[in-house]
Amino acid sequence: SQTIHQWPATLVQPVGSPLSLECTVEGTSNPNLYWYRQAAGRGLQLLFYSVGIGQISSEVPQNLSASRPQDRQFILSSKKLLLSDSGFYLCAWRLANSYNEQFFGPGTRLTVL
Amino acid sequence: AQTVTQSQPEMSVQEAETVTLSCTYDTSESNYYLFWYKQPPSRQMILVIRQEAYKQQNATENRFSVNFQKAAKSFSLKISDSQLGDTAMYFCAFMRTGTASKLTFGTGTRLQVTL
């Protein structure tokens, strides 16, 4: 069966510091991968998605970037965090070339101080 | 661009009762998919139910069912025999067909099930 992992689960970082959040999927090949941010008490906003290794699409202009160095690995990064980057970050995957639902990881709670 | 609207920020229901959560969406697409996701206090996003727009029959999953009205662009979720474990945020989501099939989420409805 497929599983999706995210780490770390919780992160507290100072303003201006770098960021690296990792997401990995097991049990499937060539998934579509997604990064979402959920601000407190709000819905999910799609940040990035990827349909293959090295292929990244950005949905909103922001301080963040994403990379997909391996088929089942998706990384969210920042060179310098802003206060507004605080939130709950969710990674999701979906079978490519299908219209199945997306499956979500457990999330990372990021607090920027 | 597609938009998803959930007009009920919070709802409450007593255990064993039935509750309906509303969702409307706006799209010019004719073929698409709709989902309800549940986010309990653990914050894990869990799929509750899905509906293909080309299917006229409303989807059901045990105590969960939808009322899909394509012409009205409405997709409500009915929870029967509510249980304490149903307490969560519920998000309606729209997915168009095509490359990457991105999800557009509503702002959510916080459901509290009480004794």
Q: Reply yes or no on whether the pLDDT at A96 is more than 90.
A: no
Of A44, A57, A107, the CB nearest to B105: A44
pLDDT at B99: 62
Q: Please give the Cα distance from A96 to A51 (Å, whole number).
A: 7
Q: Please give the Cα distance from A97 to B100 (Å, whole number).
A: 8
pLDDT digits (tens, 9 = 90+) for B62-92: 999 999 999 999 999 999 999 999 999 999 9
3-state secondary structure of B9: coil
pLDDT at A59: 87
Chain B residues bordering chain A (beta-carbon distance below 8 Å): 33, 35, 37, 42-47, 50, 52, 91, 95, 97, 99-108
pLDDT at A54: 93
